[in-house]
Amino acid sequence: MRSHYNKIIQTEIKQLERFKEQAEKRSSIENMKRFEDKIIELQNELTEDTPRYLDFVKEQTDYITLQQKNQHDKKNKTDMDVDNQTKLDDFYKKESQLRKEDRHLQYQMRKEWDWLCKQDIKLPDYIRTNLSKMPNNKGYIWKGIWYFGHKPNENNNNLLIMFERPLGSNDMLIHEIKRNEYYRILKKDHTGRNVIISEKLF
């Protein structure tokens, strides 16, 4: 039963690894991290008795038990047989629903990835050039997508700085995020000074 479950998980891991490789090629660090976290979560499923695995074992055990019971009583149909058949029907419906949800999840992931790739192609050259020179605690927010610098964090601090020029605006917004302390959004005023227009404390 564990080997059958692991095959399902390994198939999901392989698909996520392909998504991660594509994200890495396009320097989409945020999406690459998201796929990486999901891969780690699924890898734990291969060895640990997680709630998802325990549910799988219970469902498979119930299904086998019901099948055996149904075969044993096949010649003598009783009210119990009808009840078992109902449970089998419910099981099939549940399995069908789970497969449908999995297909929908994979479809949404592919759709999101396709959209991301289409937007990435349109990324202005100056942003892509600047990213190659930036440390990875700085970057740009473009069309809602976060792009991080390619170089190591020079100061090794936990301050994240992201630049964003909202669509249809000439203003350059500066997002400052310091882990466990604050999230600020700043904008240059007419004197060239950075003015805080939004601040959230953690």
Q: List, for residues 40-57, the tens digit of each pLDDT value.
A: 666 666 666 777 666 776
Q: For strand 138-142 and strand 159-164, is the pairing parallel, antiparallel, or unpaired? A: parallel
Long-range contacts of 90-94 (CB under 8 A, 24+ apart): 91/59, 91/62, 91/63, 91/66, 94/59
Domain chopping of the chain, boundaries: 2-121, 125-201
For residue 23, pLDDT over 70 is answered with no
Residue 172: band (very low, low, confident or very high) from pLDDT cuts 50, 70, 90: confident
Task: Quote the CA–CA distance of 43 and 23 in Å, as a whole number.
Answer: 20
In the chain, the percentage of residues whose pLDDT exceeds 70 is 70
Whether the pLDDT of residue 166 is over 90: the answer is no
Confidence band (pLDDT; 50, 70, 90) for 59? confident
Query: How does residue 125 score in pLDDT terms, banded at 50, 70 and 90?
Result: very high
DSSP assignment of 127-167, as one string? HHHHHHHSBTTEEEEETTEEEE-SB--SS--SEEEEEE--T
Average of per-residue pLDDT values in the chain: 78
Task: Note whether 184 and 196 are within 8 A (CB).
Answer: yes
Residue by residue, DSSP assigns 83-122 as: HHHHHHHHHHHHHHHHHHHHHHHHHHHHHHHHHHHHHHHT
The confidence score (pLDDT) of residue 127 equals 92
Given CA atoms 47, 53, 58, 61 in this order, what sign does their dihedral have? negative
138 - beta bridge partners?
161
- The pLDDT of residue 141 is 93
Provide mean pLDDT across the span 148-165: 85
Question: Whole-model pTM?
Answer: 0.49
Cα gap 68→82, rounded to integer Å: 14
CA distance 146 to 40: 22
| pLDDT reported for residue 46 | 62
If one compares 191 and 104, the residue with the highest pLDDT of the two is: 104
Q: Which tokens go with 196?
A: 């805080």
